[in-house]
Amino acid sequence: MRHISTVIIGAGQAGLAMSKCLSDRSVTHVVIERGEIAHAWISERWDSLRLLTPNWQSRLPGYAYSGDAPDGFMTMPQIADYLRGYAACCAAPVEERTTVTSVTSQGFGYRVETTQGAWQCDNVVLATGACAQAQIPQLANNLPPGVTSMTPMSYKSPAQLDPGGVLVVGASASGTQIAAELRAVGHEVTLAVGSHLRAPRSYRGRDIQWWLDRSGVLDACLDPLDDIDRIRRLPSMQLVGDATLAALDLNTLRARGVQIVGRIAGIREGYAQFSGALANHCALSDLKLNRLLESFDAWAESQTLSGLKPPHRLEPTEVGRDPVLRLRLDDGHIRTVIWATGYRPDFHWLDLPVFNAKGGLDHTFGVVGPGLYVLGMPAQQRRKSAFIDGVGADAEVLANHLIHNRASRVA
């Protein structure tokens, strides 16, 4: 068995950021990765996907984008290259193609079993990300025979799909992008919409992420009095990594021929059933967007910024008078259902009493227990904690906590 101070599990942006922070503090560690560096970006995303954040926002501790397209959006291969470059620059001690099979307590530390042997360590950092598994609602089990069920993790391109109609469930970034892509190649597409966050790609001549970044929205630290669970459940904005597209919202999709229906409520007797609350969900999304834009306007005025275009608002989301409340699935017209209903982490190998009644990992701003940390979770410490641009600040905090905790143990 090998001994080391800290084992980091996962070599994506979170694991590599933590590695850099520990190296800066002279903490011996190893980074264990089941595939290769940036494995999830390479193998678990669809082919046309680009980052939702501009290249200038790809910032990690001691490393930043240095290419000639700061306002562009990286493809998946480019993200992988970027992270491989970061790992090389930081000399991160990554053990690739090594799968963790269990993490258990041992003495005052932990035992990490892998397919390449075991580690004894004082600290473990869980950096496998919040999107390790696709969330599929239980009602998916009621799909009729002959209808293919997919998720954004298994979907790669339209070429995978059989000819025919497609039902996309979920209208956050993944669902809207996939619906647009499938409609563009001729599929009849129905998009089931629940709670969602509408957003323009740019506002007053600046990217929406510029506003979120400069105004401090993304850097806002969470307070224990906040409804943190609600914040962590917020869907991703309806964005696409394309500066030429003003918005990819429901109005845009409807204009392209996508049928918009309410949240899926059930599948019975060969029919998908939809909620009648589509208008309410859309009105609430419009309200939240307008409040956000108003806050940007107020901030810009307070900063006396120049060179901005005049304030404007998007047209209200169009909702038909007679919403579709059910869709037949057993007549061969709908051939595929894509469940863009979110993601969840996967800690099945973590054999420790650190889970709540719902099976979620209990942590306080990333601290799970003595010497046990998690990094890269949504709204972990800040609103941008799950972004490439957010894991660095969180990693700094956890690295300092680890050092202090280690010193306390020695004392």
Please name the helix (run of DSSP H) or strand (run of DSSP E) that holds residue 290, with its range, or none.
helix 278-302
Domain limit, last residue, from 310, 339, 368: 339
Q: How many domains does the chain fold into?
A: 2
Average pLDDT of the segment spanning 321-344: 94
Strands 271-274, 264-268: pairing kind: antiparallel
Average pLDDT of the segment spanning 61-89: 96
User: Are 259 and 189 contacting, i.e. CB atoms less than 8 angstroms apart?
Assistant: yes
280 and 221 belong to one structural domain: yes
Domain that holds residue 249: 136-339
Q: What is the mean pLDDT of the chain?
A: 94
CA–CA separation, 94 and 234 (whole Å) = 33
- pLDDT above 70 (res 209): yes
- pLDDT above 60 (res 309): yes
195 and 59 belong to one structural domain: no
113 and 200 belong to one structural domain: no
Residue 74's CATH number: 3.50.50.60
**Residues present in the chain in total:** 411
277: confidence class by pLDDT, cuts 50, 70, 90 = very high
247 and 159 belong to one structural domain: yes
- Residue 40 φ then ψ, to 5°: -65, -40
171 and 98 belong to one structural domain: no
Neighbours of 100 (CB within 10 A): 23
Domain limit, last residue, from 339, 361, 393: 339
225 and 319 belong to one structural domain: yes
- pLDDT above 80 (res 198): yes
* pLDDT in the model for residue 51: 95
- pLDDT above 60 (res 225): no
Amino acid at 336: T
- The string of pLDDT tens digits covering residues 135-149 is 999 999 999 999 999
52 and 9 belong to one structural domain: yes
pTM value surpassing 0.85: yes
125 and 145 belong to one structural domain: no
- pLDDT above 60 (res 324): yes
Angle at the Cα of 349 from the Cα atoms of 346 and 353, rounded to 5 degrees? 95
- pLDDT above 90 (res 260): yes
- pLDDT above 80 (res 224): no
* pLDDT in the model for residue 242: 93
Domain limit, last residue, from 305, 339, 373: 339
281 and 145 belong to one structural domain: yes
329 and 365 belong to one structural domain: no
Which among 193, 170, 197 has a CA at the least distance from the CA of 275?
Answer: 193
311 and 402 belong to one structural domain: no
407: confidence class by pLDDT, cuts 50, 70, 90 = low
User: Are 346 and 127 contacting, i.e. CB atoms less than 8 angstroms apart?
Assistant: no
164: confidence class by pLDDT, cuts 50, 70, 90 = very high
* pLDDT in the model for residue 231: 75
Cα 11 to chain centroid distance, Å, stands at: 16
256 and 397 belong to one structural domain: no
CA–CA separation, 147 and 145 (whole Å) = 6
